[in-house]
Amino acid sequence: MSILEQDPWYQAFRELIAAEISTLREQTRHQVNQFWQQHHEIRATRPYNEWGCLGLRLRERSVVFGIEWYVNSYYGPRGKRVVLSKAVTLAVDRSAKLSAVAHKLKGWELELAQTLEPQFTIVRRQLDELVKMNHRAQVYTQRKPKLQNNVL
C-alpha cells in the first residue's frame, strides 16, 4: 500500500474533492442537455440550410470532465457524407474562443452559445482549482513523513 492509500486525512480530502466534482458534473450535464433541447427545438422550426454546425459535449476524463464546444464540417454528397468535428479552442482564462469560429455559425447558434459559455467558464476554472488542490494534497501527504522527521 502506498502512503496515499494509508493516510486517512488524504482519503477524506479526496472524497470531498470527488463529491464536489460529481456535483459539478451533474449540474453541467443538466446544462448541456438544456442546450441540446433548445438546439433541437430551434432546428425543428428552421429550414435545413439554417440548422447550423455547433455542438457541445461533456467529455469524461479519469478524474474530472471537460466541457467542449465543437464545430462540425460536412463533406461529400448526402448519403455518403463524412462529418468531421473540430473542438473550439480555449483561451487562457478557460473560456471558449467562440469568436474564432463565429463566421461558421448561424446567428442563433452563436447567441445560444454565448449565453451558456460564461457558466461553463466558471465550471472549468473550478475544476482546475480542484485538480490543483488534489495535487497539492498528494504532495503534502507524500512529504509528511519527511516533514515530521525534519528531513527534506
Q: Grid coordinates in use for 22?
A: 460529481
Is 4 a residue whose pLDDT tops 70? Answer: no
Q: Grid coordinates in use for 145?
A: 513523513
Is 130 a residue whose pLDDT tops 70? Answer: yes
Q: How far apart are CA 8 and CA 114, in angstroms?
A: 43
Is 150 a residue whose pLDDT tops 80? Answer: no
| pLDDT tens digits along 43-74 | 999 998 888 899 999 999 888 999 999 999 98
Count Cβ neighbours within 10 Å for each residue of 42-56 and write b for 16 or more, e otherwise: bbeeeeeeeebbbbb
